[in-house]
Structure 1
């Protein structure tokens, strides 16, 4: 038997309520994930211990703590140094994408994303990440 490497719990950090609502629908209703959605990096830091995400999906451009700063802060929390993270952003020039990967992201999903395939895109990134082990 293969160990169950399937992705269930996702923490999403997105400051735009409309995008958050669409992503929640895409990931919970369509994808069947357990989603914790936060509107700021600060809120994510407060809730991450409770939701214990297997994967973090975060917006790059946010007021206050942006995505990269939020990811750095999460990396300093016990138990989250290696939690895979995916950036969602409209800034997807190849040098920008390389920058996000250099920060330790395992993938980048371009915005605007397609809600019908978002769960599949995330699953694909997850499967590639887990297959490395």
Structure 2
């Protein structure tokens, strides 16, 4: 049995259609439990209570600052060890986005191939 079965992933993205597609694809392809939220505040609360195995985080949330959320996740004792994969339409750069690359496990650029998404997550986390 692979080490990536029975995983829980929290998707924090302000695009509801994208959240739905990711949820359906990962639940169908890998039988993972997928939690979704469209706001930074709700994302932090879910991360604290649900303790997902990984967080897919959009840095450009329209209703909250993704960078501030990343910082909150990494400084909170309850969530600091949860790997975060950036989920973004622009190539992340520590210079342009002012974040510490050591705080992220990887990045997935939008648009992405939904059939390859699970493999990208597994690859970036070394599952």
Deviation per residue, 1:94-130 (Å, 9 max, x gap): 6669965626111010101111110110011111xx6
Give the equivalent residue in structure 1 for 2:82: 83
1:29-44 alignment, distance < 5 Å:
29-44=28-43
Whether contact under 8 Å (1:20, 1:37) holds in the other structure is yes
Whether contact under 8 Å (2:51, 2:82) holds in the other structure is no
Give the equivalent residue in structure 2 for 1:14: 13
Root-mean-square deviation (CA, aligned residues, Å) is 2.4
Unpaired stretches in structure 2, ≥5 consecutive residues: none
How many residue pairs match? The answer is: 125
Q: TM-score w.r.t. structure 2 length?
A: 0.84
Give the equivalent residue in structure 2 for 1:102: 101
In structure 2, C-alpha distance between the alignment counterparts of 1:98 and 1:40, rounded to whole Å: 19
Whether contact under 8 Å (1:68, 1:103) holds in the other structure is no
Whether contact under 8 Å (2:74, 2:80) holds in the other structure is yes
How has the CA–CA distance of structure 1 residues 86 and 93 changed in structure 2, closer, same or farther, with 3 Å as cutoff? Answer: closer
In structure 2, C-alpha distance between the alignment counterparts of 1:112 and 1:100, rounded to whole Å: 22
Which aligned runs of 4 or more in structure 1 are off by greater than 6 angstroms? 95-98
In structure 2, C-alpha distance between the alignment counterparts of 1:41 and 1:89, rounded to whole Å: 15
Give the equivalent residue in structure 2 for 1:46: 45
Whether contact under 8 Å (1:67, 1:87) holds in the other structure is no
Q: TM-score w.r.t. structure 1 length?
A: 0.81
Tell me if 1:56 matches 2:55.
yes
Q: Secondary structure at the match of 2:26?
A: helix
How has the CA–CA distance of structure 1 residues 83 and 95 changed in structure 2, closer, same or farther, with 3 Å as cutoff? Answer: closer
